[in-house]
Structure 1
Amino acid sequence: MDNEHLVATLRELEITKTDLAKLTGVSKASVSRWAAGSQPIPKWLESWLALSLKLKNIENMASLK
């Protein structure tokens, strides 16, 4: 995952960098560095975001019923 994909995923999840920091227990500065591309994005965050997207899709499908 690169920084552009991170920013796009946050938009898709409708969460801010501040939200991500609070939800994951990291500093907002770390999230800002990941989003700017000045620090590598941890592998665990890629997994966390993928699971969050899946959960959002499941919730969207459930609301259609």
Structure 2
Amino acid sequence: MKPPAIPDSYATWRHCITVECGIPLTVEFIQRRLAVLTHTKEYETQRLAEVYGVRHGQTVLA
């Protein structure tokens, strides 16, 4: 079964990042992502809201 285009759970997201993208989930990686996604003026944060909606961005940070 093909995973959803937008991960719908932590397990799906983790598989996408670590297996499909080959990115290790290090403390540094998580800290960098959270630093970007908690600032609404950051381009990546604005794109996340534009493409997936504000609610999805809030879910990501929850």
TM-score bracket relative to the smaller structure:
0.3 to 0.5
Greater relative contact order structure (CA < 8 Å, 6+ sep): 1
| TM-score in terms of structure 1 length | 0.32
Return the structure number with greater helix share.
1
| TM-score in terms of structure 2 length | 0.33
